[in-house]
């Protein structure tokens, strides 16, 4: 019966298939068949043997149940696969696994799983980046509060927020693409990596096997592919997860009742927000993204610790990786799918955005007034102090900043009432926000079209 939530709750069907036990067995046997083909090509196995074994694999003759039976006998997972496949291969069974060590097979299988998982992750990242670019363009003129330290700062635009996220997602795509040759790496070099079991055919055999399996060759390996590449993948996954956490957390904050600027999709005809409070519309999808990020980030430490193995290898990484790698891939897959769905159905409330801007009673325009005074030749430090005192007065007396400024002789010495009114309009102080959004949108679309 299902126990872990990734068995029934998290991850798409396409990602699940990669890490399914039956798929694992098929890939294990395909690596063994690739090795047999490489052996046959250098004269170390009959030429007809690989085709017979490939036919056997496609027929489904070797089952998980048979492998499990052999594992109970051997207490060795890879040897169980070897025994089951060799037994089913008849006269060719004696050529199965010749010259290989267990991790020649398992690391090469892992390389194919990582390759295919990264393809899914990249596809979703592309969808996410384009969705963010669309939102950036749609809301590039929608002026809203910029906040630092959780406090109103200066006006920006909602499109600017989305553009920042889109650029971050593009960097993750670049990182993954650049790291593939270090991540999707198999091996076929024997018990300590010297290829001694293949005589003078080692390089040729390894190259051919990995070519057939469509993964990268290592420059050098011991009994296993060094784990720094895997640590790089898990760390990149944690970085991507953290970006999703960042976006989701912002939506959650802007969905707060007293803010109400954004809201994740809510099915009004059927969705229940609370088992007791009928009115609730909770940001549960974004909260899931944030919660799963904590798990994915925690895996980065374990991946880094797995780099440290004794001599030419020990087994401390194995049990950790069995848990860690499928979890990271499935949970990140779930986060990406959820965030794409949230953003595609995101609700934006311009009236609440305008209300929140006006609630600051012009205080967010203090820098604009200070810069305007400096442009008239005023000392910057002096202008800052004048506007700071005006801001405090407005705050204490619950006045609009413009009221205090109009009455202040130091300000009026340099600015007219009309100028003050002009500089109190948030849409007049968004700098190059619109142009930056357009730049990011063009960059994202151009890069993903290439």
- The answer to whether the CB of 362 falls within 8 A of the CB of 41 is no
pLDDT digits 0-9 by tens, 334-390: 999 999 999 999 999 999 999 999 999 999 999 999 999 999 999 999 999 999 999
Residues 199 and 215 in one domain: yes
Residues 287 and 140 in one domain: yes
Mean pLDDT, rounded, for 196-205: 96
**So what's the pLDDT on residue 349?**
97
- The answer to whether the CB of 294 falls within 8 A of the CB of 328 is no
Residues 285 and 378 in one domain: no
- The answer to whether the CB of 224 falls within 8 A of the CB of 313 is yes
Residue 440 in any domain: the answer is: no
Pairing verdict, β 262-263 and 143-148: unpaired
3-state secondary structure of 28: helix
Mean pLDDT, rounded, for 215-228: 96
Percentage of residues in the chain having pLDDT higher than 70: 100
| Joined tokens for residue 282 | 């909770």
Residues 27 and 90 in one domain: yes
Kindly tell me the burial class for residue 450, based on how many C-beta atoms sit within 10 Å of its own C-beta (0-12, 13-18, 19 or more): exposed
**So what's the pLDDT on residue 3?**
85
**So what's the pLDDT on residue 86?**
95
Which of 78, 95, 112 corresponds to the end of one domain? 95
Residue 86 in any domain: the answer is: yes
Query: What's the rounded Cα separation, in Å, for the pair 215 and 343?
Result: 34
Residue 441 in any domain: the answer is: no
Mean of all residue pLDDT scores within the chain? 96
Which of 306, 333, 355 corresponds to the end of one domain? 355
Contacts of 164 (CB under 8 A, 6+ apart): none
Confidence of residue 450 (pLDDT cuts 50, 70, 90): low
pLDDT digits 0-9 by tens, 258-274: 999 999 998 988 988 88
Residues 131 and 277 in one domain: yes
Which range of residues forms the domain containing residue 400? 363-423
Confidence of residue 59 (pLDDT cuts 50, 70, 90): very high
85, pLDDT greater than 90: yes
Residue 436 in any domain: the answer is: no
Residues noted as catalytic:
149, 274
At 78, which helix (H) or strand (E)?
Answer: helix 77-88
Mean pLDDT, rounded, for 228-234: 97
Q: Which phi and psi angles does 429 have, rounded to 5°? A: -135, 55
**So what's the pLDDT on residue 5?**
86
Mean pLDDT, rounded, for 244-255: 98
Query: What's the rounded Cα separation, in Å, for the pair 298 and 234?
Result: 10
Number of structural domains in the chain = 3
8, pLDDT greater than 90: no
Residues 110 and 130 in one domain: yes
Residue 442 in any domain: the answer is: no
Query: What's the rounded Cα separation, in Å, for the pair 277 and 230?
Result: 46
Residues 120 and 198 in one domain: yes
CATH number at residue 189: 1.20.200.10
How far CA 383 is from CA of 136, 291, 378, 405, in Å, comes to 35, 46, 7, 12
Mean pLDDT, rounded, for 390-416: 96
Query: What's the rounded Cα separation, in Å, for the pair 232 and 311?
Result: 21
188, pLDDT greater than 70: yes
Residue 449 in any domain: the answer is: no
């Amino acid at each position: 019966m299902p126990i872990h939530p990734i068995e029934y709750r998290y991850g798409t069907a396409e990602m699940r298939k990669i890490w399914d036990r039956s798929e694992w067995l098929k890939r294990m046997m395909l690596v063994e068949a690739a090795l047999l083909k490489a052996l046959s090509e250098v004269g170390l196995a009959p030429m007809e043997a690989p085709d017979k074994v490939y036919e056997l694999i496609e027929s489904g003759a070797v089952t998980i149940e048979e492998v499990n039976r052999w594992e109970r006998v051997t207490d060795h997972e890879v040897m169980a696969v070897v025994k089951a496949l060799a037994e089913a291969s008849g006269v060719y069974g004696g050529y199965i696994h010749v010259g290989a060590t267990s991790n020649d097979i398992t690391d090469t299988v892992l390389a194919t799983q990582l390759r295919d998982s990264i393809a899914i992750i990249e596809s979703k990242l592309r969808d996410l980046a384009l969705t963010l670019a669309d939102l950036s363009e749609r809301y590039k003129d929608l002026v809203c509060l910029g906040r630092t330290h959780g406090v109103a700062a200066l006006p920006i635009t909602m499109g600017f927020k989305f553009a920042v996220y889109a650029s971050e997602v593009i960097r993750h795509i670049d990182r993954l693409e650049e790291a593939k040759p270090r991540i999707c790496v198999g091996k076929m070099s024997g018990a300590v990596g010297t290829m001694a079991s293949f005589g003078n055919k080692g390089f040729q055999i390894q190259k051919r096997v990995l070519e057939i399996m469509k993964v990268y060759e290592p420059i050098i390996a011991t009994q296993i592919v060094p784990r720094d590449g895997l640590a790089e993948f898990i760390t990149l996954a944690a970085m991507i997860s953290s970006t999703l956490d960042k976006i989701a957390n912002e939506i959650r904050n802007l969905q707060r009742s007293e803010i109400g600027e954004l809201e994740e999709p809510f099915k009004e005809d059927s969705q229940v927000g609370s088992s007791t409070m009928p009115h609730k519309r909770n940001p549960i999808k974004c909260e899931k993204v944030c919660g799963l990020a904590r798990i994915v980030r925690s895996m980065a430490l374990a991946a880094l610790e797995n780099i440290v193995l004794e001599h030419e290898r020990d087994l401390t990484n194995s049990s950790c990786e069995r848990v860690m790698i499928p979890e990271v891939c499935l949970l990140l897959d779930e986060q990406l799918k959820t965030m794409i769905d949230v953003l595609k159905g995101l609700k934006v409330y311009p009236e609440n955005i305008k209300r929140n801007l006006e609630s600051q009673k012009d205080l967010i325009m203090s820098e604009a007034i200070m810069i305007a005074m400096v442009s008239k030749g005023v000392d910057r430090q002096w202008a800052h102090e004048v506007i700071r005192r005006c801001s405090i007065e407005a705050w204490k007396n619950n006045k609009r900043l413009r009221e205090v400024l109009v009455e202040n002789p130091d300000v009026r010495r340099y600015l007219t009432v009309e100028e003050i009114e002009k500089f109190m309009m948030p849409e007049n102080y968004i700098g190059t926000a619109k142009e930056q959004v357009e730049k990011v949108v063009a960059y994202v679309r151009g890069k993903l079209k290439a």
